[in-house]
C-alpha cells in the first residue's frame, strides 16, 4: 500500500491519532485479505493444470492409433519376458556356477536341449523298429558289449565306451564319482585305461541278475561322432602316431590288413588309409576282426559297441555338440553338483569337413560306397540323431 493511500485514510477518520491506529488495522486487514486471494489464485492455477493433464492423457489413450500402440508396446512385452527368464527360472532351478547361463544363446540352448535329446531317442526307436534295417541296427548283448559298459554303482550310472569321441574324459568323470580320486586333475593318464587300477568295474563282471537290474534301473548314456571322421581319428591315432604302449596296431594288425587288402603288393609303405577303408568296407571283414580281438573297438560301429536297440539308453550325446551335451548329461544323471566335465579346447569337437574330404579324395567310389553301406543306417541315421545330415557331423558323399 502506498503513502498516498495512508494519507487518504487519515483524512477519512479526521483525528490524526485515531487515524493512525485505525489505518494500521485496515492495513493489516488488507494485507491479510490480499495474501488470502493470492493463495486462492495459486490453488486455482494448480487445479486447472491438473485437470488439463488428466484430459490430455484421456484424449491420448482414447484416440491413439491401435497399430502404433501395439508396435511400441512389443519391446516392453519382450523385456518383461526376458526378466522372468533371468530372475525366476534360475531361482527355481539353480545351476552350478560353471554352467550358469551366459547370454541369450546359452539360454536358448538350455530350452532346446531336452527337445533335441528326445528327438534323438525317438529317431533311434524308429530305426530299431524298421525290420529292413534289423541286420544293421541289432546285435546281441554279448560279453563284448558288456565289456564296453562301465559301472558307477554309487550314483547308478552306466557309461558305454565308444573310443575316439572323448571317451577318456568321461572315464575320468566316473573315476572321480567312484571315489578313487577326489578330482579329475589328480588322475594320472596311465591309470585311466588301466582297468585293474582305475576303479571302474565293467558290467560284464556282474551276475546275470545284477546285470539285468542295472540295465533296468540305472542312468545309461554313450557318445557318438560322425562315423567317417571317427575312422580318420582311429587311423591316425593307432597306425600313424601309434603310441609306444600299443605296438600291436603297427606290428600285428597293420600287416594283417596289408596282406589282405593292398592292391599293389610291391608297395612297402606302412598301412595306408585306403587299405584301412578297404578292410572296413569288406562284407567279410569279420574274420579279421576275430583275429584282432578287442582292439577293433576303435573302428567298429556304435551298434556293435553299445547295442542301442537292445539297451534303452537315457541319453545319446554328440561329440560335435559336446559343449552343450556334457553339462546336460551331468545334470540329467544328477551329478552336476559333484563333478564337471574337463575343459574342452576350442574347436576340437567341430566337424572338420575339409579333413574328411582330404582323406577320402584318394579313395575309390566303390570302396566309399562299401564303407557307407556298413555305416549309413547304423551311424548317420541312428546315432547322428537330430543333426543336419549334410555338413554337421553326418557326411553324405553321394
Percent of the chain with pLDDT over 70: 66
pLDDT greater than 90 at residue 6: no
Integer angstrom CA distances of residue 243 from 106, 167, 239, 240, 251: 38, 17, 9, 9, 12
Residue carrying C-alpha cell 600287416: 255
Q: Terminus-to-terminus CA distance in the chain, angstroms?
A: 107
Q: Cell numbers 523385456 correspond to what residue? A: 79
The CA-atom distances, in angstroms, between 320 and each of 314, 343, 349, 351 are 19, 15, 5, 6
- The pLDDT, as a whole number, for residue 77 is 30
Measured distance CA(36)–CA(16) in Å, rounded: 30
Average pLDDT, the chain: 76
What pLDDT sits at residue 243?
A: 74
| Residue 62 or 66, more confident | 62
Q: Is the pLDDT of residue 315 over 90?
A: yes
Which comes out higher in pLDDT, residue 393 or 331?
Answer: 331
pLDDT for residue 78 is more than 50:
no
Cell of 292: 584282432
Residue with the bigger pLDDT between 375 and 169: it is 169
26-35 tens-digit pLDDT: 545 445 555 5
306-330 average pLDDT score = 95
Question: Is pLDDT at 130 greater than 80 in this prediction?
Answer: yes
Whether the pLDDT of residue 368 is over 50: the answer is yes
Give the gyration radius of the chain's Cα atoms: 40
pLDDT over 50 (residue 193): yes
Q: What is the DSSP string of 4-54?
A: HHHHHHHHHH--HHHHHHHHHHHHHHHHHHHHHHHHHHHHHHHHHHHHHHH
Of 343 and 76, more confident: 343
Task: Classify residue 94 as left (phi > 0), alpha (psi -120 to 50) or beta.
Answer: beta
pLDDT at 37: 58
What 3 state SS string does 286-352 have? HHHHHHHHHHHHHCCCHHHHHCCCCCCCCEEEEHHHHHHHHHHHHHHCCCCCCCCCCCCCCCCCCCC
Instruction: Provide the whole-model pTM.
Output: 0.68
C-alpha cell at position 122: 525317438
pLDDT at residue number 9 = 46
The model's confidence at residue 138, banded by pLDDT at 50, 70 and 90, is confident
**pLDDT at residue 363 tops 70:** yes
Question: Which single residue is written with the C-alpha cell 565293467?
Answer: 202
What letter does residue 207 receive in the DSSP assignment? -
**3-state SS of the chain: helix, strand, coil percent to 5?**
60, 5, 35
Summarize the confidence of residues 363-388 as an average pLDDT. 66
* Minimum mean pLDDT range among 84-98, 252-266, 268-282, 308-322: 84-98
Q: Which of 164, 181, 171 is nearest to 235 (CA)?
A: 164
Q: If you average pLDDT over residues 100-113, what whole number do you get?
A: 47
**Residues 6 or more apart in contact with residue 51 via CB below 8 angstroms:** none
- Read off the pLDDT of each residue in 201-215 and give the average, rounded to a whole number: 97
Amino acid at each position: 500500500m502506498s503513502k498516498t493511500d495512508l494519507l487518504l485514510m487519515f483524512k477519512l477518520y479526521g483525528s490524526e491519532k485515531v487515524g493512525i491506529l485505525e489505518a494500521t488495522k485496515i492495513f493489516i486487514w488488507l494485507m491479510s485479505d490480499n495474501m488470502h486471494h493470492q493463495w486462492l489464485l495459486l490453488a486455482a492455477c494448480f487445479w486447472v493444470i491438473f485437470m488439463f493433464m488428466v484430459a490430455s492423457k484421456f484424449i491420448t489413450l482414447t484416440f491413439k492409433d491401435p497399430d502404433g500402440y501395439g508396435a511400441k508396446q512389443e519391446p516392453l512385452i519382450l523385456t518383461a519376458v526376458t526378466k522372468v527368464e533371468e530372475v525366476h527360472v534360475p531361482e527355481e532351478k539353480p545351476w552350478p556356477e560353471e554352467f550358469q547361463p551366459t547370454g541369450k544363446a546359452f539360454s536358448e540352448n538350455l530350452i532346446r536341449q531336452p527337445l533335441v535329446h528326445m528327438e534323438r531317442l525317438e529317431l533311434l526307436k524308429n530305426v530299431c523298429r524298421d525290420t529292413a534295417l534289423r541286420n544293421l541296427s541289432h546285435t546281441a548283448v554279448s560279453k563284448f558289449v558288456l565289456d564296453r559298459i562301465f559301472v558307477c554303482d554309487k550314483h547308478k550310472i552306466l557309461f558305454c565306451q565308444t573310443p575316439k569321441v572323448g571317451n577318456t574324459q568321461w572315464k575320468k568323470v566316473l573315476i572321480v564319482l567312484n571315489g578313487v580320486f577326489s578330482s579329475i586333475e589328480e588322475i594320472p593318464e596311465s591309470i585311466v585305461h588301466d582297468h585293474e587300477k582305475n576303479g571302474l568295474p565293467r558290467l560284464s563282471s556282474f551276475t546275470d541278475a545284477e546285470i539285468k537290474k542295472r540295465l533296468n534301473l540305472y542312468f545309461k548314456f554313450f557318445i557318438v561322432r560322425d562315423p567317417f571322421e571317427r575312422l580318420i581319428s582311429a587311423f591316425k591315432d593307432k597306425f600313424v602316431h601309434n603310441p609306444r604302449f600299443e605296438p600291436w596296431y603297427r606290428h600285428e594288425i597293420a600287416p594283417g590288413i596289408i596282406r589282405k587288402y593292398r592292391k599293389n603288393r610291391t608297395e612297402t609303405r606302412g598301412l595306408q588309409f585306403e587299405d584301412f577303408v578297404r578292410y572296413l568296407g569288406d562284407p567279410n571283414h569279420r574274420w579279421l576282426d576275430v583275429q584282432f580281438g578287442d582292439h577293433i573297438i576303435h573302428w567298429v560301429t556304435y551298434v556293435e559297441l553299445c547295442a542301442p536297440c537292445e539297451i534303452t539308453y537315457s541319453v545319446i550325446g554328440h561329440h560335435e555338440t559336446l559343449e552343450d551335451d556334457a553339462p546336460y548329461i551331468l545334470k540329467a544323471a544328477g551329478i552336476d553338483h559333484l563333478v564337471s566335465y574337463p575343459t574342452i579346447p576350442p574347436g576340437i569337437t567341430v566337424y572338420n569337413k575339409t579333413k574328411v574330404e582330404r582323406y577320402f579324395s584318394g579313395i575309390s567310389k566303390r570302396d566309399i560306397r562299401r564303407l557307407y553301406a556298413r555305416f549309413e543306417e547304423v551311424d548317420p541315421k541312428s546315432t547322428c540323431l537330430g543333426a543336419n545330415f549334410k555338413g554337421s557331423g553326418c557326411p553324405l558323399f553321394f
